[in-house]
Amino acid sequence: MNNINVCIVDDDDIYQFTMKMALESLKGVERIMFFNDGAEALDFMLDNLNKEKELPDVIFLDIDMPIMDGFQFMEEYIKIKPKVGKRIVIYMVSSSVDPADIERAKKISEISDYIIKPIQEGQLKSILHELKENGQL
């Protein structure tokens, strides 16, 4: 597992910090990007559509954010996905245990899984390992 670009889209500073610490402890994570809302992340994606090295391999996407939430981001991402120069694995991450949110996320085929916060370091490690093993990274 090497040279993985990870993107965190979440407006919670403490969560961003804990994810940064957990990801930095894992081998193979080359770059960690943070965006406070879906609009910032989408702008970045649009600016880097054909720059494979810039684009993330994995996105951990929060649902509840100002400006553009996780579901709104996914609606826009699906529109630009054919133009994105690489395969990106997306996990929706939320503190919501609302079955409606979980069901809505499961209906979006571009979302690999729904993870309830907080993500533990061991969970992150196994997610990245599994993606590598399955040839998704």
- At 42-74, the pLDDT tens digits run 999 999 998 999 999 999 999 999 999 999 999
pTM for the whole thing?
A: 0.95
CATH class of 4-133: alpha beta
Q: Where are the domains of the chain?
A: 4-133
Q: What are phi and psi of 7, to 5 degrees?
A: -120, 130
pLDDT (tens digit, 9 = 90+) per residue, 96-134? 999 999 999 999 999 999 999 989 889 999 999 998 888
Angle value at C-alpha 111, between 25 and 45, nearest 5 degrees:
75
Sign of the CA dihedral 14, 107, 46, 7?
Answer: positive
State residue 17's pLDDT score: 96
